[in-house]
Amino acid sequence: MIEFIEIIFTAGFWAATIRIACPLILATIGEVLCERAGVLNLGIEGIMSIGAMVGWMTVFLGADLYTGILAALIIGGLFGLLHAIFTVYLGASQHVTGIGITMLASSLGFFCFKLILPASTTPPKIKPFQPIDIPFLSELPFLGPAFFQHTPFTYLAILVVIFAFWLMNSTPLGLSIKMAGENPMALEAQGIDVFLVRTIAVVLGSALMAVGGAYLTLSAFDAFYFGMINGRGWIAIALVIFASWKPERALLGALLFAGLDAYQVRAQQLAGAVIPYQFFLMLPFLLSIVAMVIAAKRTRYPKALLIPFRRGERH
Amino acid sequence: MIKFRLEERAKSPYWLIILSPFIAILVAIILAGILIVLAGANPFESYYQLIIGAFGSKNSFAETLARATPIILTGLAASIAFRAKFWNIGAEGQLYFGALATTLFGTGLVVLPSILMIPFLFIMGALAGGLLLLPLVLLKLYYKVDEVVTTLLLNFVVVLLVSYLLEGPWKDPMSLGWPQGKSVIDEGVLPQILSKTRLHLGFIISIFFAFSVWFILSKTVIGYRIKSVGLNAAAASHAGVPIFKTVLIVALLSGGMAGMAGVTETAGLKGYLTLDLSPGFGYAGIAVAMLANLNPIGVIFSGVFLASIYVGADAMSRAMNVPTYLADVIVALTVLCILLSLVFVHYKILFFGVKKND
pLDDT digits (tens, 9 = 90+) for B300-316: 999 999 999 999 999 99
* Residue A234 with chain B: CB contacts under 8 Å: 149, 152-153, 156
Backbone angles phi, psi at B5, to 5 degrees: -145, 140
| Residue B353: per-residue pLDDT | 58
CATH number at residue A211: 1.10.3470.10
Distance between CA atoms of residues B219 and B216, nearest Å: 6
For residue A173, the tally of other CB atoms under 10 A from its CB is 15
Rounded average pLDDT over B95-114: 94
Residue B195 Cα distances to B10, B192, B243, angstroms:
52, 7, 48
Residue of A193, A278, A310, A315 to mutate when probing chain B, most B C-beta within 10 A:
A278
Residue B156 Cα distances to A63, A100, B152, angstroms:
35, 19, 7
Alpha-carbon distance A49 to nearest alpha carbon in chain B (angstroms): 14
Backbone angles phi, psi at B348, to 5 degrees: -100, 140
- Window 55-84 of A: residues touching B by CB (8 A cutoff) are 82
Any chain A CB within 8 A of the CB of B37? no
Least confidently predicted of A112-121, B89-98, B161-170, B254-263: A112-121
| Residue B224: per-residue pLDDT | 92
Distance between CA atoms of residues A117 and A119, nearest Å: 6
- Residue pair A114/B323 in contact (Cβ under 8 Å)? The answer is yes
For residue A121, the tally of other CB atoms under 10 A from its CB is 4
The gap from C-alpha A42 to its chain's centroid, in whole angstroms, comes to: 12
- Residue pair B261/B74 in contact (Cβ under 8 Å)? The answer is yes
Residue B171 Cα distances to A172, B104, B156, B198, B210, angstroms:
60, 12, 20, 24, 34
| Residue A165: per-residue pLDDT | 87
Q: Which domain holds residue A203?
A: 22-117+150-230
Distance between CA atoms of residues B71 and B261, nearest Å: 8
From the list A247, A250, A252, A276, the residue with the least C-alpha distance to A264 is A276
Residue A290 lies in a domain: no
Full pLDDT tens readout for chain A, 315 residues: 777 777 777 888 888 899 999 999 999 999 999 999 999 999 999 999 999 999 999 999 988 999 999 999 999 999 999 999 999 999 999 999 999 999 999 999 999 999 998 876 677 888 898 888 888 787 788 777 777 888 899 999 889 888 888 998 899 999 999 999 999 989 988 889 999 999 999 999 999 999 999 999 999 889 998 889 999 999 999 999 988 898 888 888 899 889 988 888 888 777 766 788 888 889 889 989 998 888 887 777 888 888 888 776 554
Q: Using the Cα atoms of residue A244, residue A248, residue A253 and residue A254 in order, give the sign of their dihedral.
A: positive
Confidence grade of residue B92 (pLDDT, cut at 50, 70, 90):
very high
pLDDT digits (tens, 9 = 90+) for B314-352: 999 988 989 999 999 999 999 999 999 988 888 887 776
Confidence check: pLDDT of B356 > 70: no
Cross-chain Cβ contact A234/B153 below 8 Å: yes
Confidence check: pLDDT of B357 > 60: no
Confidence check: pLDDT of B358 > 50: no
Any chain B CB within 8 A of the CB of A287? no
From the list B327, B345, B338, the residue with the least C-alpha distance to B287 is B338
Confidence grade of residue B171 (pLDDT, cut at 50, 70, 90):
confident
Can you tell me whether residue B354 is helix, strand or coil?
Answer: strand
From the list A199, A183, A206, the residue with the least C-alpha distance to A42 is A206
- Residue pair B20/B345 in contact (Cβ under 8 Å)? The answer is yes
* Residue B154 with chain A: CB contacts under 8 Å: 285, 289
- Residue pair A35/A240 in contact (Cβ under 8 Å)? The answer is yes
Point out the residue among B144, B164, B335 whose CB comes nearest to the CB of A279. Answer: B164
Q: By CB neighbour count within 10 A (0-12 exposed, 13-18 middle, 19+ buried), where does B1 fall? A: exposed
The total number of structural domains in chain A stands at: 1
* Residue B161 with chain A: CB contacts under 8 Å: 278, 282
Backbone angles phi, psi at B8, to 5 degrees: -65, 135
Residue of A87, A94, A96, A305 to mutate when probing chain B, most B C-beta within 10 A:
A96
What is the pLDDT of chain B when averaged over all its residues?
Answer: 91
Residue B135 Cα distances to A55, A299, B131, B248, angstroms:
39, 19, 8, 10
Alpha-carbon distance A16 to nearest alpha carbon in chain B (angstroms): 23
ipTM above 0.90, yes or no: yes
From the list B163, B122, B145, the residue with the least C-alpha distance to B258 is B122
**Single-letter amino acid, residue B153:** L
Largest distance between two CA atoms of chain A = 65
Backbone angles phi, psi at B4, to 5 degrees: -140, 165
Alpha-carbon distance B115 to nearest alpha carbon in chain A (angstroms): 37
Cross-chain Cβ contact B168/A276 below 8 Å: yes
Residue of B152, B334, B345, B349 to mutate when probing chain A, most A C-beta within 10 A:
B152
Q: Which H or E element spans position B352?
A: strand B347-354
Distance between first and last Cα of chain B: 8
| Residue A139: per-residue pLDDT | 77
Instruction: Enumerate residues 6+ apart whose C-beta is below 8 A from B161.
Output: A278, A282, B96, B100
Rounded average pLDDT over B191-196: 87
| Residue B234: per-residue pLDDT | 86
Cross-chain Cβ contact B332/A100 below 8 Å: yes
Cross-chain Cβ contact A97/B5 below 8 Å: no
Any chain A CB within 8 A of the CB of B222? no
Confidence check: pLDDT of B46 > 90: yes
Confidence check: pLDDT of B155 > 80: yes
Distance between CA atoms of residues A106 and A103, nearest Å: 6
Residue A87 lies in a domain: yes
From the list A194, A173, A176, the residue with the least C-alpha distance to A91 is A194
pLDDT digits (tens, 9 = 90+) for B198-243: 999 999 999 999 999 999 999 999 999 999 998 888 888 888 889 9
Any chain B CB within 8 A of the CB of A85? no
Apex CA A18: angle with CA A14 and CA A20, to 5°? 110
- Window 38-57 of A: residues touching B by CB (8 A cutoff) are 42
* Residue A86 with chain B: CB contacts under 8 Å: 336, 339-340
Can you tell me whether residue B349 is helix, strand or coil?
Answer: strand
